[in-house]
Structure 1
Amino acid sequence: MNPATKTIVATGASSGLGFEVIKQLLTDRPLHATDRYRLILGARDVARTQIAYDALRFDSARHSLAVLPLDLEDLGATQAFAKLVVERLDKEGAKVEYLLLNAGLTGENEADGAGVWGLIPQTGIGKGSVMKLTMDLPDAKTVPEGAQNILRAFTRDDFPEDPEQIFLTSWGEWWSKDVYALSLDKALQDKWCPSKEEIEREAGLSA
């Protein structure tokens, strides 16, 4: 592909908010008018996801799109996805410009739609939980609006000097650290966040 092609690796893009982000990039809202995209998407249902994107009838001479198998509840499958992505990029002499980790879980269901992009009720974020989101909630945004917020975040370059100030709100402001101070507590991180070795051991993948 053209040397100016931008590579985007994304999860949670088979439906909802993630799908809308990729759709806007491919059809009517590129980050820059001349952009070309190399899209590598991870999805549990590869065939269904591929059909959904084929239906967009995007310019395949300008953009490429590959859907690879990914089950985030299976650590081995997740590692296999990462390996496939690296091998594909090495073969094409490419690098990742944008990494969109949009997939999430609520209860036993995959979901997307909340986080720094804003409160997006019309996605799967409330499935399998008691949390019910509606458009009459304060700061609620439509799926297209949420996708546009993500795309704006792709091109932000006004990063704070403090590397721990990492949360960008959906209205375009960097949250002060006092809002999420507990998440920066090292003791709490060690208590609630298992190490890579512990995760692999629990999944039966360590030696």
Structure 2
Amino acid sequence: MSTSPTATAEATAAPFDPEGAWLVAYANGDPDAARVLTAALGPRAYAQAARMLADRAEAEDVVQEAMMRLWRIAPDWRQGEAKVSTWLYRVVANLCTDRLRRRGRGVPLDAVPEPPDDAPTAAAGMLESARHRALAAALAELPERQAQAVTLRHLEGLSNPEIAAIMDIGVEAVESLTARGKRALAAILAGRREELGWTDE
């Protein structure tokens, strides 16, 4: 039985990207589109930046810059070529990597982020801050691509195909970068596992 051209086109069409539709609506002057997109993408972008930088103020700056870039490219956005969320993840990761590189090989020891508001105790908040600071410093010592792959896989929880799309590389390259990055991190943090309360793998 033959397949109609319409059915074939539907089978091969890219999945609908609602965020892409909102971005196009924003470019066409929809006043609600920016609010909807910010609500949908902002928290995820902030979580990514905060984990990479271990600094909430810097994370907010990165997200603001990334969203501004998104608004600027809105008129040229072509639906079906990429997902808006993937594009934004890539921009946030690159902006964070730039900031980590400018910091040098680590984070100043006195740059301790404020403990989370919902921390059960001051001690727990201090330990969590120390872990974030140590991890950010260790990530800053990795090659840029390794740090980005490890962050997206193990801190953001993205799949290897998602990371491949964000980094514009193959899945096998993602697996290699992640494995090498994990080994390097383990070596860098080996002497601080007990201090930071990391007793498992």
TM-score range, shorter chain: under 0.3
Larger Rg: 2
Q: What is the TM-score normalised by the length of structure 1?
A: 0.26
Q: What is the TM-score normalised by the length of structure 2?
A: 0.26
